[in-house]
């Protein structure tokens, strides 16, 4: 997603410290999320994905350590403006996965009812759009601002199926989510409506050939969202649904270079 922002802002994908920083920070946050989250799913440790995480905790600690080292080095290679801009998403991300709130054991920001999907969309949009734009001096560009909105909408839409998958676990932990309130059918309709809004913003913000890549990616992603309500296998979500971000980048890159 960060690489895609550079492409859409007219920059070639070369060695960019921000790309390394975003990758390493994401690795750290996801590793910590898996490790800390095990305490919240003690009753589900025999299920496939939780069992895999539990059996590979030492591996995940290694990934987290490597991510911290990479993030620490690349942090000092970006501008001071980017370093300062990382403070807010950094605090949100760490509070999302670490038990920092009082009043409940292991209470994380994501355990507040209905908030986690909004936090994910905001942080992903800010990090993958605003940080590269800030580094390039294009923060106030109208294209950048529309891209930020479009990116957050896309992330929101593809995160809704994950909340569908986690309905049982979230109910067990007394965490309210949009799917628990709307039901499966309406959640999918909401995600599809957001993808339509994503397409409209893309039509406003981009020209051919970039537009074709984004619209094709949106169409394929919408098909996957439609079938997500019947899926439970983790590879569908962490492989296929998460993979729509890579798909979007590849299609944008492909149409630009066609």
Q: For residues 198 and 157, is the Cβ–Cβ distance under 8 A?
A: yes
pLDDT confidence of residue 218: 96
What pTM does this model have? 0.89
Select from 254, 188, 179 the least CA-distant residue to 223.
Answer: 188
pLDDT confidence of residue 118: 92
pLDDT confidence of residue 47: 62
Where helices occur in 42-177 by DSSP H, the ranges are 48-55, 57-75, 80-85, 87-97, 116-125, 131-136, 142-165, 167-172
pLDDT confidence of residue 99: 75
pLDDT confidence of residue 55: 74
36: tokens are 């800390």
Select from 31, 147, 9, 139 the least CA-distant residue to 84.
Answer: 139
Q: For residues 102 and 45, is the Cβ–Cβ distance under 8 A?
A: no
33 to 36, 52, 258: CA distances (angstroms): 5, 14, 39
Q: Residue for token digits 């790309």?
A: 19
pLDDT confidence of residue 19: 93
Phi, psi of 101 (to 5 degrees): -100, 145
pLDDT confidence of residue 195: 96
pLDDT averaged over 10-residue windows placed end to end, the chain, 258 residues: 93 85 93 75 58 77 92 93 92 82 65 84 94 88 92 95 80 79 91 96 94 96 89 79 94 91
């Amino acid at each position: 997603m960060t690489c895609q922002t550079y492409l859409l802002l007219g920059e070639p994908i070369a060695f960019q410290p921000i790309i390394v920083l975003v990758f390493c920070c994401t690795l750290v946050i996801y590793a910590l999320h898996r490790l800390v989250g095990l305490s919240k799913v003690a009753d589900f440790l025999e299920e496939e994905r939780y069992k895999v995480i539990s059996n590979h905790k030492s591996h995940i600690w290694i990934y987290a350590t490597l991510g911290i080292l990479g993030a620490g080095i690349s942090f000092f290679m970006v501008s001071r403006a980017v370093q300062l801009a990382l403070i807010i998403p950094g605090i949100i991300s760490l509070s999302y996965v670490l038990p920092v709130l009082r009043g409940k054991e292991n209470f994380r920001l994501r355990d507040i009812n209905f908030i986690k999907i909004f936090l994910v969309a905001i942080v992903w949009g800010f990090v993958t759009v605003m940080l590269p734009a800030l580094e390039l001096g294009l923060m106030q560009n109208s294209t950048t601002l529309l891209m930020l909105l479009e990116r957050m909408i896309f992330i929101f839409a593809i995160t809704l199926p994950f909340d569908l998958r986690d309905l049982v676990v979230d109910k067990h932990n007394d965490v309210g989510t949009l799917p628990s309130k709307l039901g499966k059918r309406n959640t999918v309709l909401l995600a599809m409506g957001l993808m339509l809004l994503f397409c409209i913003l893309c039509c406003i913000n981009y020209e051919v050939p970039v537009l074709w890549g984004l619209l094709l990616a949106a169409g394929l992603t919408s098909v996957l969202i439609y079938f997500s309500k019947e899926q439970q296998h983790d590879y569908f979500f962490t492989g296929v649904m998460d993979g729509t971000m890579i798909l979007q980048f590849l299609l944008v890159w492909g149409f630009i270079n066609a």
